[in-house]
Amino acid sequence: MSLGYDAIARTALLKAKVIKLNRLPLEGIRVADFTWIGAGSFTTKLLADHGADVVKIESRGRMDSLRSARPYKDGYSGINRSGYFRRSQ
């Protein structure tokens, strides 16, 4: 039995809705983060946790001090091991 055009279109539309529902609310949005401590860094982490692509802008001479703040991934300290810079999953 063959499906008619309307049935095929409805099936495709339902699949598209399911895919859209599985996306995070901020997917497809890119954020430039020029902050360097505290509320700004934490806020952009929240945006990333909700799907935004956050691009952190900083220099080697003045890195965000939260990069070395607790809590640490697996309990080991390090420049990129801070819980503020680890993706939540």
Classify residue 69: in a domain, yes or no. yes
Domain enclosing residue 33, as ranges: 26-75
Structure pTM? 0.61
| Distance from C-alpha of 6 to C-alpha of 31, rounded to nearest angstrom | 40
Q: Tell me, what's the pLDDT at 86?
A: 60
CA–CA dist 19, 13 (Å, integer) = 10
In a domain, residue 15? The reply is no
Within 10 Å of residue 33's Cβ, how many Cβ atoms? 19
Both structure tokens of 17: 């809705």
pLDDT digits (tens, 9 = 90+) for 29-45: 999 999 887 788 889 88
Tell me whether residue 86 is in a domain: no
Q: Is residue 54 part of a domain?
A: yes
CA triplet 47, 36, 32: central angle to 5 degrees? Answer: 45
- What's the rounded Cα separation, in Å, for the pair 62 and 49? 25
Is 8 contained in some domain? no
